[in-house]
Structure 1
Amino acid sequence: MAKKWIEYVVLLLILGCASKPGVEVPETVKSLENVTIHTPNAEPSRQIVLDEEVTYEDTEEVTRGIISGNVVVDSRGRVYIPDFQAKTIYVYNADGSYLDSIGREGKGPGEFQMIWRIRVADDTLHVLGYASQKISVFDLQTMKHIHDMKLSISEEMHQSPPWLDWTRKKKLSYKPIDFYVRSDGNYLVFFGDEGVGPMNNVEGRTYEVSLYDPTKKKYLKHDLLSFVWTGQTLTDQEEMTVMFRVPYKRSSRFAYSRQELIHGWTEDLLFKTCNEEGEYQRAFYHPNPEIPLNVEDALAQYQDPGKNIIRAIRNDTLPETWPAFNTIKADDEHRLWVSVFTDDPKIYKWWMLDAENGELLTRFEWPREKRIEVIKSGKLYTRERDKETGLEEIVRYDIKM
Structure 2
Amino acid sequence: MLNGKGNLIQKIGKEGRGPGEFQNAGSFLTVHDSLAVTDGPSHKIEVFQYLNTKYEHIRTIDIENQKLLGNLLGLTDKGILLENDIWLSPFAPKNPTETAISFLDHKGDILQDTLFSVPIHEFVVHDNSETAFVRGKIFGNSSKLAYDDNKGRIYSLWTDKLSIDYFTLDGERHHAFSYPLLQPVNITKVERDSALNRLDEPTRDIMRKHMPDVKPIAGHMVVDDQQRLWVELLSEELGHGWFAFSADGEPLFHIKIPHHNAILQDIRGNTFLWNYTNKKGVPTAVKSRVNIPEV
Q: Runs of 5+ in structure 2 lacking a partner?
A: none
Aligned-pair identity in percent equals: 22
Question: 1:320 and 1:303 mapped to 2: Cα distance?
Answer: 17
Please, what TM-score do these two structures have when normalized by structure 1? 0.63
Give the paired residue count. 283
SS in 2 for 1:311: helix
The 5 Å alignment of 1:27-38 reads: none
Match of 1:147 among 29, 35, 59: 59
Matching residue of 2:222: 329
Amino acid corresponding to residue 48 of structure 2 in structure 1: F
One-letter amino acid of the counterpart of residue 312, structure 1: I
How far is 1:308 from its partner?
5.0
In 2, are the aligned partners of 1:331 and 1:375 still within 8 Å (CA)? yes
SS at match of 1:319: coil
**Corresponding residue for residue 102 of structure 1:** 12
Point out where structure 1 has 5 or more consecutive residues left out of the alignment.
1-90, 155-173
What is the alpha-carbon distance in structure 1 between the residues aligned to residue 207 and residue 242 of structure 2? 26
Using a 3 Å threshold, how does the CA distance of structure 1 residues 104 and 223 change in structure 2: closer, same or farther?
Answer: same
Structure 2 vs 1, CA of residues 313 and 361 (structure 1 numbering), >3 Å: closer, same or farther? same
Q: Which amino acid aligns with 1:132?
A: S
Larger strand proportion of the pair: 2
Task: State whether residues 69 and 85 of structure 2, in contact with CA within 8 Å, keep that contact through their aligned partners in structure 1.
Answer: yes
**SS of alignment partner, residue 102 of structure 1:** coil
Residue number in structure 2 paired with 1:165: none
State how far apart, in whole Å, the 2-side matches of 1:310 and 1:364 are.
35
Q: Match for 1:122 among 9, 15, 32?
A: 32
Structure 1 pair 149/321, CA: closer, same or farther in 2 (3 Å)?
Answer: same
Task: Supply the distance in 2 between the matched residues of 1:375 and 1:246 (Cα, whole angstroms).
Answer: 30
Asked if residue 311 in structure 1 is aligned to residue 205 in structure 2, the reply is: yes
Question: By how many angstroms is 1:92 displaced?
Answer: 0.7
Q: Deviations over 1:64-96 (max 9, x none)?
A: xxxxxxxxxxxxxxxxxxxxxxxxxxx112343
1:126 to partner: Cα distance: 0.6
RMSD, matched Cα:
2.9
Partners in 1 of 2:12 and 2:103 — Cα distance?
A: 26
Distance 1:317 1:121, change over 3 A: closer
For residue 302 of structure 1, report the CA deviation from its aligned partner. Answer: 8.2
Give 1:305 deviation, angstroms: 4.2
2:35 and 2:26 map into 1 onto residues whose CA distance is: 13
1:292 pairs with one of 186, 209, 218: 186
Matches within 5 A, 1:18-57: none
| C-alpha separation in 2, matches of 1:278 and 1:150 | 24
> Alpha-carbon deviation of 1:206?
2.1
SS at structure 2 position matched to 1:92: coil
2:116 maps to 225
1:299/1:310 contact within 8 Å kept: no
Tell me the residue number matched to 1:391: 282
Question: What does residue range 142-291 of structure 1 map to in structure 2 within 5 Å?
Answer: 142-153=54-65, 175-195=68-88, 201=94, 203-214=95-106, 216-233=107-124, 235=126, 239-242=130-133, 244-257=135-148, 258=150, 259-287=152-180, 288-291=182-185
* 8 Å Cα contact 1:133-1:152 kept in structure 2: yes
Of 131, 135, 140 in structure 1, the residue corresponding to residue 45 of structure 2 is 135
- Change in Cα spacing, 1:140 to 1:302, as seen in structure 2 (3 Å) is farther
After superposition, the Cα gap between the structure-2 partners of 1:135 and 1:377, relative to the gap in structure 1 and judged at 3 Å, is farther
- Measured after TM superposition, the shift of residue 137 of structure 1 is 0.9
Provide the C-alpha distance between the structure 2 equivalents of 1:204 and 1:398, rounded to a whole number of angstroms.
42
TM-score by length of 2: 0.84
Superposed displacement of residue 119, structure 1: 1.1
